Amino acid sequence: MTDIKIFVSDDVSESGLEPLRSAGFAVEKRAGLKGAELLEAVRECDGLIVRSETKVTTEVLDAAGRLRAIGRAGVGVDNIDVPAATARGVVVMNAPDGNTMTTAEHTLALLLALARRVPQGNASLKASRWERKQFVGVELRGKTLGIVGLGRIGRVVASRARGFEMKVVAFDPFIVPEQARELDLELATLEEVCARADFITVHTPLTPETRGIIGAREFSQMKTGVRVINCARGGLVDERALYSAIKEGRVAGAALDVFEQEPPPPDHPLLALEEVVVTPHLGASTTEAQEGVAVTVAEQMRDYFLTGALRGAVNFPAVAAHELVLLKPYMTLAERLGMFQSQLIDEAVREVQLEFAGEVAELDATPVTRSFIAGLLRNMSARVNVVNALLIAEERGIGVTTSYKRGSVAGDLTPAIRTRVLTGKGEHTVAGALFGQQSDGRITEIDGFRIEATPAGNMLITRSSDVPGVIGRVGMCLGTHGVNISRFHLGRRARGGEAIAVIETDAPLDDATLAELRSFEQVISARQIELDA
């Protein structure tokens, strides 16, 4: 597998990269590259691993023509242009659990440092001053901790805060009351959290909706003497508004591990305030966390290149490992059905309809839908894959609808996947099912004709009148042109009507052979389909 090249552009744990090297991938690590050097370094890589320093922009993505996967050794992906990566079919992965404990612990460290004024006392004593009375702090016991965002980190912070005998009140519009009771905390509106909390900590991702979630309005609602902590993302707390709130005396102190601009400029006004405790984005900076996120991303990237498994992808639906095992053969079948359909049509696709039955209908079949669209559009877009398939379909104005026949049993009469592709001139339906050990996918229906064929290799599809001599004449033509038939499948609706044949051949047909077949009076159409073996 040395043809797979992984470039690591940030200081990622060496031991964490071992899963990639053990798989035989070529791994190159050069941290700190910028501009033209970075663009040149990513030009031939299949995978790119970054932390927070490298900015994966459209320029970087355009330079990396072979790039198929980006791994973020951490949680946030705001340094990666995810929409641009998705449009190019590049999967973006992160390690959502890797920094949970270490960031939560750093939040608690800053909480304690802020409450007891530890950094100020340390600086004073090291300057040869003994100023005990100047650094009187406050206890955590009995105080109310307001948490904005109850994701993985917010929940760990809540759990540890209760160990300090703090009351916890939280705002998160995506948490239901039942979950709050399980977490042993109280849910409230953002306004209520601001009004009641003695300490407020923020743990949300940075999005257009959450930027400045703690701003001038929120500071005006807080009780005098409140203390604010941000170990999540710079920009969640409005830094100008925080400075004003501290100077006005409403906020007693703040502890910041992150800033809107990193590193912050030396003249940043918050750095000049004694009430503010700062650290240089150390939330994920433990030996255990850095190795953990590197291993997680390396394993995810290894599995993606070896088996196509997608774990930790932020621009692809999350699929549990056991579900992915069940879905994989259906995804393969769907992609082949899509490739088959794409070669049946000559007009622009207007709409796609998918129906799922049996085992696949009991699961979230979104990855199967994506696989079909990727196969269908493969010849229309060089970069289409399961990551960007739905986006490309949307850009082309192709409507995609799905339906599930839950409680059904897939079989000869009820295929696992039925696909309908509508164009401006008509429609084609192709259905398929799995046989054997849940891996041998077959076509079971073409345009209403029941048939069984393996969607692989070279296939000749003919439609003809169901009269004697047609099969023999087609076979004679192929033999005359040196084309060997490996399998022959025939389907018809009624005797003497129209018949369809799927003829698997050892080699593709040339134009002269196809033209001769189409010249036969009884042959309505003859079309060659070429699929990967």
CB 254 within 8 A of CB 229: yes
Catalytic residue among 88, 227, 281, 442: 281
Exposure letters 225-257 (e unless 16+ CB within 10 A, then b): ebbbbbbbbbbbbbbebbbebbeeebbbbbbbb
User: Alpha-carbon distance 430 to 447, whole Å?
Assistant: 6
CA nearest neighbour of 418 among 460, 380, 446, 399: 446
Question: Among all chains, which residue has been given the structure tokens 């099969």?
Answer: 471
Which tokens belong to 498?
């129209």
H helical segments located in 353-413: 366-376, 389-395
Which residues of 15-55 form beta strands (DSSP E)?
26-29, 47-50
Q: How far is CA 257 from CA 12, 71, 201, 261, 262, in A?
A: 20, 23, 12, 12, 10
CB 157 within 8 A of CB 147: yes
The amino acid that residue 455 corresponds to is P
The answer to whether 489 is a known catalytic residue is: no
User: Alpha-carbon distance 156 to 153, whole Å?
Assistant: 5
The answer to whether 211 is a known catalytic residue is: no
Catalytic residue among 191, 262, 394, 530: 262
Catalytic residue among 233, 302, 336, 370: 233
The answer to whether 504 is a known catalytic residue is: no
Tell me which residues are annotated as active site. 233, 262, 281
